[in-house]
Amino acid sequence: MSWLRKALVHLALSRSDEALIKASGGEPRTVRGMTLDPRMQFLEAQARQRAIPWDQLTVAMLRAQTEAGAALFGGGKVSGVRVEKIYVTGRSHSVPCRLYLPTVRDNSAALMVYLHFGGGVIGSLESCHRLCGLIAKEAGAPVISVDYRLAPEFKYPVGLEDCIAAYNWAVDNAARYGAPVGKAAIGGDSMGGLFSAIIAQEMRKTKPPVVQLLIYPGIDFVSDTPSMHEFADAWPLTAETLDFFVKQYLPDSADPSDPRISPGRAQDLRGLAPALIYGAGFDMLLDQGAAYAERLKEAGVKVNYTRFDSLPHGFVAFPSAAPAAEAAIRQIARETAAALKGNL
């Protein structure tokens, strides 16, 4: 992507709220008493104008769009954090990961394993690069971001198994990076949040995470909550996009209601790790995350739930698109850092 295009896009977004709303249809977008950030509303309007018909869209095109978005809006790198490429050992595959090592360390803070968004189909280490750097710096702890395999080339459960392998490796090797021995936290946004919820459930009796970080998580493939309809056309996760992801991710033989696919369907949530759960106001998955937070509380799990009313799904990947997105991921990083030190 050229520096000129990037400069022009950010120049457009630097206009006043009134000018951006006027360029996006003339009226603020308000649903359930929540008003979408004007910069996000502008990007939503632009995306609709340039949308490619779904019968012409391919996985490769979606991935290219996602990487272009990360290049435009991913934000700058975090100072005081060194980044390395590492590989962790899986069952039959070495899983590539990105390791974030802060210059200033706090050996009381647990290592964090982070899983990016994308419906199991798109997304990459770039999608969450700034957030991972901020968590590492705020906590003084290592963060491992997992480059798990994607569908349709690798359908369920391959991506999930890569994430489980990375989490197990992180627990076993935490001390190598100066973190507490035999401990790790798990977290992610969207699909990464779903994977994190599954891992927290599966590991509760063997290698329980210190905390589970779930950012606008999709935790139920068969959910039919009001937000699934109210925000069915909300950028960037529309009903059509979600349907496309499900068809690419799940094999024909899979049961979408299986708790290993839809962790929100699990009956027993007792004894799970403390949870930080964050919702986006303009998101089809909003009600899923809120309901899961309530169920966890009812099961006796410590939960901190926060909703960012003005932001859409996927805001972790767009910190430089709007000050509200940058502020949100900074808040998430601070609160995650505290949780990694046992202060939830």
pLDDT by residue, tens only, the chain of 344 residues: 566 678 788 888 999 999 999 999 899 999 999 999 999 999 999 999 888 888 899 999 999 999 999 999 999 899 999 999 999 987 788 999 999 999 999 999 999 999 999 999 999 999 999 999 999 999 999 999 999 999 999 999 999 999 999 999 999 999 999 999 999 999 999 999 999 999 999 999 999 999 999 999 999 999 899 999 999 999 999 999 999 999 999 999 999 999 999 999 999 999 999 999 999 999 999 999 999 999 999 999 999 999 999 999 999 999 999 999 999 999 999 999 999 999 98
| Residue type for position 59 | V
pTM summary value? 0.97
Q: What is the dihedral of CA 149, 216, 174, 335, to 10 degrees?
A: 160
In the numeric block, which tokens belong to residue 197? 């919820």
Class of domain 69-340: alpha beta
Nearest one of 334, 338, 286 to 314, comparing CA atoms? 286
Walk across the sheet containing 143-146 and list its strands. Answer: 81-89, 94-102, 143-146, 111-115, 184-189, 212-215, 275-282, 303-312
Active site residues: 190, 283, 313
Max CA-CA distance within the chain? 56
User: Taking the domains of the chain in order of start, what are their residue ranges?
Assistant: 69-340
Give the orientation angle of helix 129-139 with respect to helix 323-340, to 10 degrees: 40
SS3 call for 124: coil
Three-state secondary structure call for residue 96: strand
Contact 31, 230 (CB under 8 A): yes
Cα dist. 262→191, 204, 322 in Å? 11, 17, 32
The CB-side HSE value for 210 (13 A sphere, CA atoms) comes to 25
The three-state secondary structure class of 183 is: coil
Return d(Cα 196, Cα 203) in angstroms, integer.
10
